[in-house]
Each structure stands twice: as structure tokens, then as C-alpha cells.
């Protein structure tokens, strides 16, 4: 081939907004404005890098960002800032690497879950709340990915990027969308996380929930009235005609007749039944390895005796939520929660002369302060208490008969 047929070698493109679209895979475009800044062109993307040597003579080529994610102008600005660092004898690539490896709020949640919440009673509920508001779980194979959680971006933020304002704003928004109590519970969860992040993890410098004003909470005082009791019992009898409801109805009866927590009834096994008692070794307040004894009055025993014995739980039901919602709607008391049946049991026990200590023992309370909330009697108990008080006052005012 003659020299006249040799094609001239292509002039390498310099880095500019005009030339970037023209560059082919495998090419590198070097900037004439900022020393060391260049663009590497791959098959699917083009990426900005900066070449420099440290004060010790070590070569570095840190990635600045992909073209399209950042512009040439932004890459030049970032490279210029890095040259200032280099000129001061520092190595900016090490700082960038540290930033990439820094932990996020989501990382902190799962580290707490792994390290300190292994035996926490509410660990499952904490995970449900976290996935609902902060980090939706990945989609199952073949299923559509769930929408991002409301505070997903906050969960994915590096801990050093978070501040008091972000946490306070989150608490306000949570209050709006989920109510004051749920917002306070999540704030308490974050507080625990930050404390563990400070020590022993040393992932963050301070507890960012400190100073966030909690929502005021009023203890709920809802009791089942006599009229509601009669309506609910009539509906129970009607629902009992459907055999599919037997386990759920038994669950509800046991809560009403024992004042037990729904979680205690849900996990009670046939092997936990000892005569007229259910004895649980694992329960909400078992930190001191104490057993929880649920006393079963004759009415509760009658319910249990009608159930088929299995190798599982006594009722075979985890939560009769669906049936209870239908019953309370039909009874005209849609605000009567399942847990309010426990409150009603406590109020009735007090009205029938039991002391706070005795009621606390029946309910499985560890603290006297917890039981004190039930001193607010229901309507029936209040009338009885008021009437007996007035009777004694009237008796004291009666004139004495002269001898």
C-alpha cells in the first residue's frame, strides 16, 4: 500500500459539551481547562474522572460521576475543589471513599435489629413499621415492586447528612398521616437507634431526636357498657351458627372473661392449660423469667371445653380482627377496640370490690402505676360508688332519736 493511501490519524477530541456526544466507546476526552479531568467512554455510559498524584507521589483516578448525572460544568467545579485539597497536602479520594462507606439510617435500624433487638418482644412490629414508613421490602420474583415508603429517602440518607430539622419534620408529617401516638412510637424507636449508634457503634455523634416535642397523649378510657354487652352477646350467638367462627369467638370470649392480652390468648397452647389456669413462660413481661398465670373462671372453662384439642394453640386463631370488626360495627360501637375488652374486665373487677393489687395480678401487670389507670371506673361502677357515698352522707345527716 502506498503512503498516499494511508488515512490520517484521527485527532483526539478534547473535553467539551460539543464533543462529548461525538465520543465513541473506548475513547478518553481530556479537559484543557482543569488539569487531570477526563471523560472515559464505555459501551453504555460516559464517566468523569480526575487524575492526580498525592503529596507522596501515589497516583489516583477517583470517579467524579457519570455524564448525565452530572454535567461537565459540575465535574469541573468538583475537580477544582479537589485540587484545592490536593494543594493543601490532603488526599480527596480517601475522603470520597469514606463517604461511600458511611452508614445510613437504614443500616442503623438493621444493625440494632441484629445486635440488640434479637429477643425484643416488639421486634416484629418494629420491622413492620420500618418497612411501612421507611424501607419497603424487595419485591418477590415475578411480582411488581412495591411503591417506595414515605420516608425512604430519609432512611437511605447517610447519618452525617441527617440533622434535627429532618427528624422534627418527619415527626410532624407522621403525626398528620398516622396520628400522634404512632408518631411518638417511631420517634422513640429512632431515639433508641441513635443512642446505640453513638455508643457502642460510634456511627453517629448525637441523638437527633433530643429536643423534638412529643405529641401529648391521653390514656384511652373506653369501657364496654351494659347495653353494648347485651348487643355483642346476641351477635356472638348468631355468629356461632357458622362453625368457621368458633375459634375466633372463643378467642373473644376468653379476652372478655379473663382480661388477658390478645397476644397471650393467641399464643396459649393446650400444653399451657393446667386445670383452671393457663400458665405462659413467654409473655410480654417475662424479663424476670416469671410465668404469667391467666386464671380461668367457670365461664372461660366452658368456652375452652367446647374446643377441639389439637397440638397447636387453644383457639387456633392468631387474631380475630376481621370478625371483631364486623361484630362491633353491627353492635353500633365501632370505636370499641379489642384491647378495650381488657379495660372493661379491669373496671368490672374494681366495681366488684377487688383491690388495685388484685386487678393488677389478674391482668399480669408488673407495675402498680400501670394498674392505676383503671381506677377510672365505668359508668355502672361510678353510679354505684356515687350512690353508696351519698347513702352514707344521708345517714350521717339523719337526726338522732332522743333516748
- For the chain, the first-to-last Cα distance in angstroms comes to 150
Residue 251, phi then psi, degrees to nearest 5: -55, -50
Instruction: Please state, in angstroms and rounded to a whole number, the distance separating the CA atoms of residues 102 and 235.
Output: 58
The neighbour count for residue 89, using CB atoms within 10 Å, is 9
Bridge-based pairing state of the strands 37-41 and 28-30: antiparallel
Q: Give me 397's grid cell.
A: 345527716
Do residues 180 and 199 lie in contact, with contact meaning Cβ atoms separated by under 8 Å?
no
**Are 14 and 31 a contacting pair, CB within 8 Å?**
yes
Considering the entire predicted model, what is its pTM?
Answer: 0.52
| Model pLDDT, residue 141 | 64
* 403 residues of the chain, pLDDT tens digit each: 444 555 455 567 899 999 999 889 889 999 999 999 999 998 888 999 999 998 888 888 888 888 988 899 999 999 999 999 888 888 888 776 655 568 899 999 999 999 998 877 778 889 999 999 998 766 566 677 667 788 999 999 999 889 999 999 999 999 999 999 999 999 999 999 999 999 999 898 899 999 999 999 877 678 888 899 999 999 999 999 999 999 999 999 999 998 899 999 999 999 999 999 999 887 555 455 578 889 898 999 999 999 999 999 999 999 999 999 999 999 999 999 998 888 888 877 777 777 767 777 777 766 655 555 655 554 555 566 566 666 665 665 666 655 5
Tell the residue number behind the cell numbers 377487688, with chain if given: 354
CA 71 centroid distance within chain: 39
- The predicted structure's pLDDT at residue 75: 92
Amino acid at each position: 500500500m502506498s503512503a498516499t493511501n494511508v488515512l490520517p490519524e484521527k485527532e483526539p477530541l478534547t473535553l467539551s459539551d460539543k464533543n462529548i456526544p461525538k465520543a465513541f466507546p473506548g475513547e478518553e476526552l481530556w479537559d484543557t481547562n482543569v488539569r487531570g479531568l477526563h471523560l472515559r467512554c464505555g459501551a453504555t455510559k460516559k464517566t468523569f474522572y480526575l487524575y492526580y498524584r498525592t503529596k507522596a507521589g501515589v497516583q489516583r483516578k477517583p470517579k467524579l460521576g457519570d455524564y448525565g448525572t452530572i454535567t461537565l460544568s459540575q465535574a469541573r467545579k468538583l475537580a477544582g475543589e479537589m485540587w484545592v485539597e490536593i494543594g493543601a497536602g490532603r488526599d480527596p479520594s480517601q475522603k470520597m471513599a469514606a463517604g461511600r462507606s458511611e452508614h445510613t439510617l437504614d443500616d442503623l435500624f438493621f444493625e440494632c435489629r441484629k445486635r440488640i433487638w434479637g429477643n425484643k418482644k416488639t421486634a416484629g412490629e418494629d420491622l413492620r413499621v420500618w418497612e411501612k414508613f421507611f424501607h419497603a421490602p424487595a419485591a418477590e420474583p415475578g411480582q411488581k415492586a412495591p411503591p417506595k415508603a414515605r420516608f425512604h429517602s430519609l432512611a437511605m440518607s447517610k447519618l452525617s447528612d441527617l440533622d434535627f430539622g429532618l427528624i422534627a419534620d418527619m415527626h410532624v408529617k407522621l403525626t398528620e398521616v398516622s396520628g400522634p401516638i404512632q408518631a411518638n412510637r417511631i420517634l422513640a424507636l429512632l431515639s433508641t437507634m441513635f443512642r446505640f449508634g453513638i455508643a457502642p457503634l460510634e456511627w453517629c455523634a448525637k441523638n437527633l431526636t433530643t429536643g423534638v416535642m412529643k405529641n401529648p397523649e391521653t390514656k384511652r378510657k373506653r369501657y364496654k357498657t351494659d347495653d353494648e354487652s347485651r348487643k355483642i352477646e346476641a351477635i356472638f350467638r348468631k355468629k356461632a351458627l357458622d362453625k368457621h367462627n368458633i375459634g375466633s369467638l372463643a378467642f373473644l370470649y376468653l379476652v372478655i372473661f379473663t382480661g388477658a392480652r390478645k397476644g397471650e390468648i393467641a399464643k396459649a397452647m393446650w400444653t399451657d392449660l393446667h386445670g383452671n389456669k393457663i400458665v405462659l413462660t413467654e409473655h410480654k413481661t417475662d424479663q424476670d423469667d416469671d410465668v404469667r398465670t391467666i386464671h380461668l373462671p367457670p365461664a372461660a372453662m366452658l368456652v375452652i371445653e367446647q374446643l377441639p384439642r389439637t397440638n397447636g394453640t387453644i383457639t387456633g386463631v392468631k387474631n380475630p380482627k376481621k370478625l371483631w370488626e364486623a361484630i362491633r360495627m353491627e353492635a353500633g360501637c365501632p370505636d370499641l377496640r379489642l384491647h378495650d375488652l381488657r379495660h372493661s374486665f379491669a373496671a368490672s373487677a374494681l366495681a366488684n370490690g377487688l383491690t388495685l393489687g388484685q386487678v393488677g395480678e389478674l391482668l399480669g401487670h408488673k407495675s402498680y402505676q400501670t394498674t392505676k389507670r383503671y381506677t377510672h371506673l365505668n359508668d355502672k361502677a361510678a353510679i354505684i360508688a356515687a350512690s353508696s357515698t351519698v347513702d352514707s352522707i344521708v345517714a350521717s345527716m339523719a337526726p338522732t332519736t332522743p333516748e
